[in-house]
């Protein structure tokens, strides 16, 4: 079931808005439309990200590096900046929650993914910078990051199936996750929901690692 159908089946209004999250004006327009339609913004989830394929520091191009940083990290900077402007003006005891989807490679580098590791590592520390700024200014806006392991998304499954040795690839990935299986999208969604809710009201600048033991 698509997200829109899921929400509407439960009486939750949905607004779809296509935007280039690496473009400041486009994100501002998206945030403003949200304010116009719903009157406020309580939660922002920055989840845009791309890789540039396999590429270590010697073989990945500067063009690929800039592209990965723009989509994966610049989008978090722009989104957070725009969201804070609206959230802080709302006042009240609940200022808002910003959740940034980083990666296990924002904690543990991958030699074969130089640009991706750099971008996700930047998301990790940018999250903490935002958390400190908001806390010190009394905005009551929390900022936390989520660090998924290998998750069986549609894109990842397709990538595995395209591999010449998909069985060997699957076995290699499983071996890196002590829990013995790969995650499902719902595993990450549940973590994001927790950070978005008041159940996590005492968490800011934290890293929620959901990786089946990959980083142990």
Please list the alpha-helical segments (H only) found in the chain: 3-9, 24-38, 62-69, 75-90, 114-136, 154-162, 166-175, 185-196
Residue 116 a catalytic site member: yes
Of the residues 65, 116, 150, 214, only one is catalytic, namely: 116
**Residue position matching structure tokens 């800039």:** 66
Sign, Cα dihedral of 192, 46, 17, 155: negative
Phi, psi (degrees; rounded to nearest 5) at 181: -155, 165
CA-based radius of gyration for the chain: 18
Report the candidate in 90, 3, 9, 10 with the shortest Cα–Cα distance to residue 43: 90
Opening angle at CA 52, ends 184 and 31, nearest 5? 70
Q: What positions carry a catalytic annotation?
A: 116
């Amino acid at each position: 079931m698509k997200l829109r159908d899921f929400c509407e089946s439960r009486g939750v209004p949905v607004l779809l808005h296509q935007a280039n999250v690496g473009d400041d004006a486009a994100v501002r327009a998206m945030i403003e439309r949200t304010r116009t339609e719903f009157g406020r913004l309580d939660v922002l989830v920055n989840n845009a990200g791309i890789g540039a394929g396999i590429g270590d520091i010697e073989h990945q191009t500067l063009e690929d590096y800039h592209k990965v940083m723009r989509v994966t990290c610049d989008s978090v900077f722009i989104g957070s900046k725009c969201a804070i402007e609206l959230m802080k003006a709302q006042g009240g005891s609940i200022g808002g929650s910003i959740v940034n989807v980083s990666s296990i490679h924002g904690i543990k580098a991958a030699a074969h993914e130089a640009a991706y590791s750099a971008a996700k590592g930047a998301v990790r520390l940018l999250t903490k910078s935002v958390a400190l700024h908001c806390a010190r200014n009394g905005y009551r806006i929390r900022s936390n990051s989520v660090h998924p392991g290998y998750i069986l998304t549609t894109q990842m499954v397709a990538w595995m199936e395209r591999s010449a040795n998909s069985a060997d690839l699957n076995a290699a990935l499983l071996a890196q996750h002590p829990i013995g299986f790969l995650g499902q999208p719902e595993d990450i969604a549940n973590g994001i929901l927790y950070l978005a809710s008041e159940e996590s009201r005492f968490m800011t600048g934290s890293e929620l690692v959901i990786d089946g033991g990959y980083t142990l």
